[in-house]
Structure formats: C-alpha cells, structure tokens
Amino acid sequence: MAHSLFADTSQQVSTVLIAGNKTATFNDKAEYSYEVKNPTDNPQVGIVSYQVFTETGKKLNAEVIKVNIPKKSSGKYDFEIAEPNAGFYKVNFMVNVSDYDDTTRRAFGIRPEELRSNHAMPADFVQFWKETRAELDNVKPQFKVTLLPDSTKDHRNVYLFEMKSLDGLTVRGYLTEPITKNKNKKFAVLLGLPGYQVSLPPMFGTDPDLAIITLNVRGQGNSRDVIHTMRDAYIFYHIEDKDKYVMRGAIMDCIRAVDFIYSRPELKHDCIMASGGSMGGFLSIATSALDKRIALCSAQNPIMSDISNLQGEVNWPLNDISRYVKSRPGLTMDKVMQNLSYYDTKNFASLLTCPTLLGIGMLDPIVPPNNAYIDYNNMTTKKHIIIFRDLGHEVGVPYKAYEGRWMRDTFGLF
C-alpha cells in the first residue's frame, strides 16, 4: 500500500474569510463572511466565533455561534461587528468543530479618517530642523563619483558616489543611469531610501527614463565608517540627545543626496521621487517634508509613526529603546520620548507639501495601522493611501504598480 507524505487537504475542513470591502474599513460596523467547508464524510459539530481586540490587546466584542455542518457541505456565517470608536481593531475568527480547529487573524478599521494623535508636535519642531539643515549646509559635500564598469548591466551605467554630510561623515550610495546615445537626455530620479540596517545595492530596473539612486545612510551598508553599531543598537544610537540622535544625521544624509542629484546635469531636478519602506518610509516622509525639492513622496509602512502611542501595540522599537534606557543611569523613557517627538513621522507628515503616496498593512506588527493612518490624516497635501488588509509589514504589487503609474503621470513620462 502506498503512503503519501502529505495529507490530502482537499478532503479536510477549511475556511474562507471575506471582509465586507477591499480595505476592511467601515463606518460603524465591520462586516465579514466566514465560510466553513466540510468535504468530509462526517458532520462537523462545534462553534464558530470571533473575538475583537484593540491594537493593545484589550478584549472587546465577541460572539459564539453553535454550528452543525452536515457531511460534504458548507456553512456560511455573516458577522456584523459594531465598534463605536474610530480606530483599527484586531479580530480573530475561530472555528472549533469535530475534526478541525483554526484561527484566522485579521484587522479592520472604523472611520480611520477621524484618527488623530493625542501628542502634539513640539513647538520648536520646525526651528529644530531649520537649524539642522543650516548645519548641513555648512558642510561642503565634496561629491565623488566613480563609474563601476564591472557592475554595469541591463543597459545601465552604475556609479558609486560618496559625499560629506552632517558632522562631516562620509555617506555613500549608488546611481544607476540608462545608457543613451542622446547627450541631451535627462532622467527623472527615484531616490531609494533604505530600510533598517539594510545595505542597499545598486538598483537597475528597466525604465529608460529613470535614474535610480540607492542611498546608504550613515551606519548602514557601505556608510559605516564612523557609526557601525550592532544591528539592534542602531535605533537608539545617541537617542539620549536629540541633537546627536542617529536619525538626525540619517535624514540629513537623504537631503545631501538631493544636493547630489542637483549637482548632476543629466538628472531632472524637478522630477525627484523619494521612496522607501519601513525606515525607508520614515526617511521618505522626513526628507520630503524638510526638502521641498522633492516632487513626490512614496512611503510604505513608515516606522516611528505616532511613536508615543506605540506603547503596548508593538514590541519593536520600544523594547530595544527601553533596554538602552535602563542601561543609562539618569536617562528616562519620558526624556527619550520627548527627544523622539522631533523624529515622529506624523510630525513630518504634517509638513509635507508634495503629493504623497502611503502604503500600509493592516496586520503590520511594527507600524500598526492606527499609527500609520495618523501620518496620513496629518498630511494636508495631495495624498493617496493604499491599504493592504491582509498584509503585515509590507505592501503588495498593486502599490508598486500604482506608484510607477503615478510617478510617470506626474513627471509627464507618457
């Protein structure tokens, strides 16, 4: 008798959960349809239930339904979950029947457009960054560009560039440009900003109209000459002093990259899109808010969003920061939070003036939708949000497809 290593799943009980709309955001009642398929020869007796939680895990609405699903049939259960308060909620749908137990974790939003932070922007936020920018302006960039012939591929030249940034640190990145015989050709620019402790390589793509810059901010990738922390330690590097915090320099590194773009005659200076995910999303919003030379901002799952309200919702980065605070006599979480308010994505978001695209995952364990949506609500510029109801700390292909179409349209690259 032959034995299969794998069970025949087509003969097992399974479930299908469908939200009432594509973004799982509702006015006052979340709607779900939960189907339990029973292809087996046994009736399935038990319960179907859901449990709603706040983003901090507090239990809210729940409902239990007794079910008896005959053999080779299915049961479909429609739920309306009323939540009076605006916000995002976690919800678990569970099935516990004769031959099957399963939990499906999802999230939904209720009137997210009403969400606002209860922490104000520091009164001197704009001044703080104005002074920081003035400090950067006092550092001569000393751009150095090196063609990397061995890296050239896909009909694109690759250049390594380096430049001096805030505090005289050297930061590096790559520029890839389509090879063209047209000496007058000018390229729109994608300024790609890095995720947390990600080393960005040159990026190629297939677009003949687009130059791509990938930047490794200080302490990351090939820009670790001075700052070279352990991976976990980067987020709290000099966090005790808002004037020395690592992100202050990292943001200025991004602005220096815009200076670099402006130094290149073959690049279109009025067609720059800053884009990045996670920490790159944070950097995209911060840089675009502080540097009006950026024409489009695209941010996916930006960290540091409404950071004072992250407590209890997520582990990272607060647990690493808290560990650091405990190791530093005299330093308190309150002091750190006060410093971080100068680096809160929501505060930068309110200063944006360029059109901005934001992508969020409803199941994001690092940037909860409550926090990311506050970034969006703080934006007063032309804006668009794409919500992925079933994704975590990532965005789907439709985001990138939309981003490409949006960029080409805005830059007139028809």
Partner 1 sequence: MKITKTAFKYSLTVVITLLTAYNSFAGGFPIRPGRLILSPSVSYFFADKQWDSTGVKKPFDDNGKFTSISMSLYAEYGISRRFSVVALVPYVINNYKETNYNQTFSGLTDLETGIKYYLANINYIYYFALQGTAITPMYKNPATGPQLGYGEEGAELKLSFAGSGNVFNRSYYFNVDNGVRQYFGTDGPIQDRYNATFGITLDTKFKEQLSASFGGFYTESNFKAYNKYNPILTKDFAFNQVSLSYGHAFSKVLSLFLTGGQFISGRNTGDGTSASISFVYRVGN
- Segment interacting with partner 1, rule: CB under 8 A, options 13-21, 40-48, 87-95, 312-320: 312-320
How many secondary structure helices (H) and strands (E) does the chain include? 8, 17
Nearest to 107 by CA among 24, 14, 178: 24
Q: Pick one of 44, 275, 305, 309: the residue that binds partner 1 (CB under 8 A).
A: 275
219 binds partner 1 (CB under 8 A): no
Query: Residue 326 has what DSSP assignment?
Result: H
Binding mask 338-377 for partner 1 (x = CB under 8 A): ---------------------------xx-----------
397 binds partner 1 (CB under 8 A): yes
Q: How far apart are CA 210 and CA 35, in angstroms?
A: 46
Nearest to 29 by CA among 63, 4, 2, 58: 63
- Of 313-332, binders to partner 1 (CB under 8 A) are 315-316, 319-320, 323
CB of 230 to partner 1, least distance (A): 11
Q: How far apart are CA 78 and CA 32, in angstroms?
A: 6
CB of 394 to partner 1, least distance (A): 7
- Segment interacting with partner 1, rule: CB under 8 A, options 11-19, 34-42, 145-153, 198-206: 198-206
207 binds partner 1 (CB under 8 A): yes
312 binds partner 1 (CB under 8 A): no
212 binds partner 1 (CB under 8 A): yes
214 binds partner 1 (CB under 8 A): yes
401 binds partner 1 (CB under 8 A): yes
393 binds partner 1 (CB under 8 A): yes
From first CA to last CA, the distance across the chain in angstroms is 63
- The 10 Å CB-count burial string (b at 16+, else e) for 12-38 is ebbbebebbeebbbbeeebebebbbbb
Encoded amino acid at 264, one letter: R
Q: How far apart are CA 159 and CA 210, in angstroms?
A: 15
210 binds partner 1 (CB under 8 A): yes
Q: How far apart are CA 250 and CA 144, in angstroms?
A: 19
Nearest to 188 by CA among 383, 414, 15, 386: 414
Q: Pick one of 20, 178, 195, 219: the residue that binds partner 1 (CB under 8 A).
A: 195
Task: Determine contact, residues 356/285, Cβ cutoff 8 Å.
Answer: yes
- Segment interacting with partner 1, rule: CB under 8 A, options 93-101, 130-138, 139-147, 191-199: 191-199
Provide the angle, in degrees to the nearest 10, between the axes of the packed helices 125-137 and 246-263: 50
Residue closer to partner 1 by CB (options 75, 355) is 355
What are the C-alpha distances in Å from 400 to residues 199, 277, 359? 21, 11, 10
Residue closer to partner 1 by CB (options 139, 203) is 203
233 binds partner 1 (CB under 8 A): no
Residue closer to partner 1 by CB (options 83, 403) is 403
